[in-house]
Chains A and B, each alone.
Chain A
Amino acid sequence: MLRLEPRPEPSRQMMFASPLMAAVLMLVSGYVIFSIMGQPPLYAFYIFFIDPLTSLYGIGEWLLKATPLILCGIGLAIGFRARVWNIGADGQLTIGAIAGGGVALYFQGVNAFWLLPLVLLAGVAGGMAWAAVPAFLRTRFNTSEILVSLMLVYVSYLLLRYLVNGPWRDPFGFNFPQSAMFHEAAMLPLLFDGLRTNAAFILALLLVVLAWFFCQKMTAGFRMQVSGEAPAAAAYAGFSDKRNVWLALLISGGSAGLAGVAEVAGPLGQLQPAVSSGYGFAAIIVAFVGRLHPLGVLLASLLMSLLYLGGEAAQLELGLPSAITGLFQGLLLFYLLAADLFIHFRLKKVQPPAAEAPATSSTTSPSEAV
């Protein structure tokens, strides 16, 4: 018989092994699901995980899809380290796209070097502004940033839909609900000929390094970490809780906004009724799978991006429903949360029950007992 018992201290090995365990379990479940759906599982795996990366174009797409995930995931990871739960990155991403897109449309036809930086800055500012709403309400009225940021996602969707259906609709667009295409000067340059990967990927890598530096080397990062892990210690040290909330939301909002503007000033080239494929939500999974560590977020983004591509390939090649992407994402997070149990607990073999384990004993932790 096996029993769970608390570890004397959290296991570092398990902290790193847990995402791998989750990935393996995701694959095992995928194997079962493919089998049930009548697909040869190994071939399906090939289509899902390998085929997308067999061409240079595929790799370009892979990095392109990973870019918004990295941008959102990094910001969220920093916020989550401080235990500020911004669930609304998708909304901040959308507002970032609107703000950046608005600037691009306003200066339509202006061919100047400053336009692209301005567009990007507007995107960041837009994301920050959207995240400032939950920050203000939390610090002023103690509302839950989880609810407020989440609800604002739907507001942002509706705002975008209103704009592309109304005031910002392309007058020469055959009545399609979308804006005019942006001018070249407002667009992110492509990195390679023939691939759609653009400069935003470089920005994302830069942000990974910056975030690592912030978390590891800067006192501000340390303060946020303390505020998250031990709020009482932060109060004792005199770190401001309000500052922590504001920083966490502005950083995650700003980077989500950048992800949004990078979508419209990149692969989309215009505002459309929906600019995100749920990147802001997928980034929550990315942040946790990446252990809230910048480098981990980078790797998790690449994995998650592959799930997006694989899902598309599976639709085309195998005729599977589009829900397959969400299914794999969900499995990954589900198994990760389950595997995380073993960071704080371990399995122990116990003798067949004689006088063992009355119900009350499991509630007594060793720290209380000594």
Chain B
Amino acid sequence: MQKLPPRLELINVGKRYPAVVANDGIDLRVYPGEIHAVLGENGAGKSTLMKIIYGVVAADTGEMLWDNRQVTIDSPAQARALGIGMVFQHFSLFETLTVAENISLALDQPPPTAELARQITEVSVEYGLPVEPHRPVHTMSVGERQRVEIVRCLLQKPRLLIMDEPTSVLTPQAVQKLFETLRRLAAEGCSIVYISHKLDEIRQLCHTATVLRNGRLAGTVDPRRETRESLAKLMIGRELPRFHWEPRTAGETRLSVKQLQLPSSDPFGTALEDIELAVRSGEIVGIAGISGNGQQELLSALSGERTTAADSVFLCGTAAGKLNAAQRRRLGLRYVPEERLGRGAVPSLSLSLNTLLTGSEQGLTEKGLIRYPALRRFARRIIDRFKVKCGGEQAIASSLSGGNLQKFIVGRETLLSPTVMLVAQPTWGVDIGAAALIRQALLDLRDEGVAVLVVSEDLEELLTLSDRIAVLADGRLSPTVPTRETSIEQIGLWMSGAFGDQTAIPATEDPVEIFHA
């Protein structure tokens, strides 16, 4: 297959933005029938490169060859005309419309609805992507929505399909299904560009990997011949950071949730049903599950942003369901929210003022007055302890990179001496170095006897970090089980909501050994 001329070739492509160089001198060659990985950390320039190929942004330098002919792609419509399809990381579907209506809107020349529905069914059967054309999108899970996006691309008979981080919203089983579909497409001659930072997936699926680092080409390799470590080294430029996890006996229960019910606050949200959960001193409990299954709601009910029946949430023995966020903080609850900019920190304020957001009762204020020197000292302490890269404690929060801001927020909450720590997506969009530091900080908290609850979409992370794990699916929480006694398969099954019967599936292997090694 390598003998055919490349279907797409990029030569020396570059793109710069006011603050960053997103791409610099990138070469990329994708052959027909090839599954080609573009691998890199967040901010390495993967998305920009794909947007250049798809005609969303224009490159500053370089040329693009399609079937050996030079092309300039000015718009997504033009890209589609050439036969390029793209499935975005964040879907662009209208919630209130049906599948067929959504797809019709995305096509340049849509056929009549009945005909379109027939085509949708045809393609979905052919590629094993079950989709009902007349279902409204808001009733669908994220995995189903992704299928709609893929079907939409397939209807245009693409010759090159770009998938941007497609598995972040899928259960492990659904990932395998998706891989089958992609392999099938490739076998039919379609080229696939697969963007990801998940090393194992790439080794499993892709024929070639182009690795980007800081907007530059770090190398092009055959991922099947690489190890996890060698790929990671190529991606981040140094060895994968390691940390130690040791078994530890948990202490008394610090946070307990009993029969928590919470109606959804918006029409497309998820209602929580009968959540039962306990987090003890000195343990990390992980909540796995795909976003949109009630994570937001659970976090807001635990943090106090939404209140519930008083006796459904207990914090250190106090019925806290009716307490607001500030009152729960007085009981020792600290919270690192998923949204860093805008929730965890005020974008336009300095880091030192941002400490006041949650630290106002820790000596940072006196009789309603702000103690600026104390604020600055505290901010400097966070910056030093957590190696936050920034222009000092007076730097504006929005000037920090995602990883550094996350280190700052985790640092702030950690140094505010928590008894219970609530963390959402601790390392989402954070570079590997910062992620290691943040995970180590959470482990340190656990070892100091803090009760830590981590809600994350990153299953690998949860398997590495947590002592016990549960899965949130469709607003219901699975039983909490010791992480070492479970398997990826079981968690995957639970993610699809199949834990109602409570029959534990015997662990077929022990993946935890691998992750904790």
Residues of A that sit less than 8 Å from B by CB: 5-10, 216-220, 222, 225-226, 229-230, 232-233, 235-240, 355-361, 364, 366, 368-370
Per the bound structure, the CA–CA distance linking A50 and B177 in Å amounts to: 79
Q: Which residues of A contact B17 (CB under 8 A)?
A: 366, 369-370
Given A219-B365, A369-B47: A6 and B76 interface contact (C-beta under 8 Å): no
A-B contact pairs, 26 of them (CB 8 A): A8-B19, A218-B368, A218-B369, A219-B360, A226-B346, A226-B349, A229-B347, A230-B348, A233-B343, A233-B345, A235-B305, A235-B325, A236-B325, A237-B357, A238-B304, A238-B305, A238-B328, A359-B75, A360-B56, A360-B76, A364-B51, A366-B17, A369-B15, A369-B22, A370-B20, A370-B22
> Does any Cβ of A come within 8 Å of B55's Cβ?
yes
Kindly specify which of B114-122, B202-210, B334-342 makes contact with the partner chain.
B334-342
> Does any Cβ of A come within 8 Å of B201's Cβ?
no
> Does any Cβ of A come within 8 Å of B220's Cβ?
no
Per the bound structure, the CA–CA distance linking A368 and B51 in Å amounts to: 11
> Does any Cβ of A come within 8 Å of B259's Cβ?
no
Per the bound structure, the CA–CA distance linking A168 and B69 in Å amounts to: 88
Given A6-B18, A370-B20: A238 and B47 interface contact (C-beta under 8 Å): no
B74 contacts A358, C-beta separation under 8 Å: yes
Q: Shortest CB–CB separation between residue A227 and chain B, in angstroms?
A: 10
B348 contacts A370, C-beta separation under 8 Å: no
Who on chain B is nearest to A232 by CB?
A: B343
Q: Which residues of B contact A358 (CB under 8 A)?
A: 55, 58, 74-75
A236 contacts B335, C-beta separation under 8 Å: yes
Task: Please give the number of chain B residues whose Cβ is less than 8 angstroms from any Cβ of chain A in the complex.
Answer: 51
Residues of B that sit less than 8 Å from A by CB: 15, 17-20, 22, 43, 45, 47-48, 51, 55-58, 72, 74-76, 303-305, 324-329, 335, 337, 339, 342-349, 353, 356-358, 360, 365, 368-370, 396, 398-399
A238 contacts B368, C-beta separation under 8 Å: no
A230 contacts B58, C-beta separation under 8 Å: no
Q: Which of B72, B324, B339, B348 contacts A232 (CB 8 A)?
A: B339
B58 contacts A369, C-beta separation under 8 Å: no
Q: Which residues of B contact A370 (CB under 8 A)?
A: 17, 20, 22, 43, 45, 47-48
Q: Which residues of A contact B56 (CB under 8 A)?
A: 360-361, 364
A233 contacts B346, C-beta separation under 8 Å: yes
Q: Shortest CB–CB separation between residue B341 and chain A, in angstroms?
A: 8
Q: Which residues of A contact B357 (CB under 8 A)?
A: 226, 233, 236-237
Q: Which residues of B contact A6 (CB under 8 A)?
A: 18
Who on chain A is nearest to B395 by CB?
A: A9
Q: Which residues of A contact B303 (CB under 8 A)?
A: 236
Per the bound structure, the CA–CA distance linking A10 and B335 in Å amounts to: 29
Q: Which residues of A contact B349 (CB under 8 A)?
A: 225-226, 229
B58 contacts A366, C-beta separation under 8 Å: no
Q: Shortest CB–CB separation between residue B491 and chain A, in angstroms?
A: 29
Q: Which of B55, B342, B358, B396 contacts A237 (CB 8 A)?
A: B358
Per the bound structure, the CA–CA distance linking A240 and B326 in Å amounts to: 9
Q: Which of A9, A225, A240, A359 contacts B324 (CB 8 A)?
A: A240
Who on chain B is nearest to A364 by CB?
A: B57
Q: Shortest CB–CB separation between residue B35 and chain A, in angstroms?
A: 24
Per the bound structure, the CA–CA distance linking A222 and B368 in Å amounts to: 10
Per the bound structure, the CA–CA distance linking A6 and B17 in Å amounts to: 10
A10 contacts B348, C-beta separation under 8 Å: yes
Q: Which residues of A contact B45 (CB under 8 A)?
A: 370
Q: Which residues of A contact B345 (CB under 8 A)?
A: 233
Given A236-B344, A237-B326, A370-B43: A219 and B368 interface contact (C-beta under 8 Å): yes
Per the bound structure, the CA–CA distance linking A226 and B353 in Å amounts to: 10
Given A219-B360, A237-B357: A355 and B329 interface contact (C-beta under 8 Å): no
Per the bound structure, the CA–CA distance linking A185 and B356 in Å amounts to: 47
B326 contacts A232, C-beta separation under 8 Å: no
Q: Which residues of A contact B22 (CB under 8 A)?
A: 366, 369-370
Per the bound structure, the CA–CA distance linking A368 and B50 in Å amounts to: 12
Q: Which residues of A contact B48 (CB under 8 A)?
A: 369-370
Per the bound structure, the CA–CA distance linking A58 and B365 in Å amounts to: 46
Given A233-B342, A370-B48: A222 and B356 interface contact (C-beta under 8 Å): yes
Q: Which residues of B contact A240 (CB under 8 A)?
A: 324
Q: Shortest CB–CB separation between residue A33 and chain B, in angstroms?
A: 37
Per the bound structure, the CA–CA distance linking A225 and B347 in Å amounts to: 12
Given A218-B369, A240-B324, A370-B43: A233 and B344 interface contact (C-beta under 8 Å): yes
A356 contacts B19, C-beta separation under 8 Å: no
Q: Which residues of A contact B327 (CB under 8 A)?
A: 238
Q: Shortest CB–CB separation between residue B317 and chain A, in angstroms?
A: 21
Q: Shortest CB–CB separation between residue A242 and chain B, in angstroms?
A: 11
Who on chain A is nearest to B398 by CB?
A: A9
A229 contacts B348, C-beta separation under 8 Å: yes
Q: Which of B72, B356, B358, B365 contacts A355 (CB 8 A)?
A: B72
Per the bound structure, the CA–CA distance linking A229 and B327 in Å amounts to: 22
Q: Shortest CB–CB separation between residue A283 and chain B, in angstroms?
A: 24
Q: Shortest CB–CB separation between residue B116 and chain A, in angstroms?
A: 25
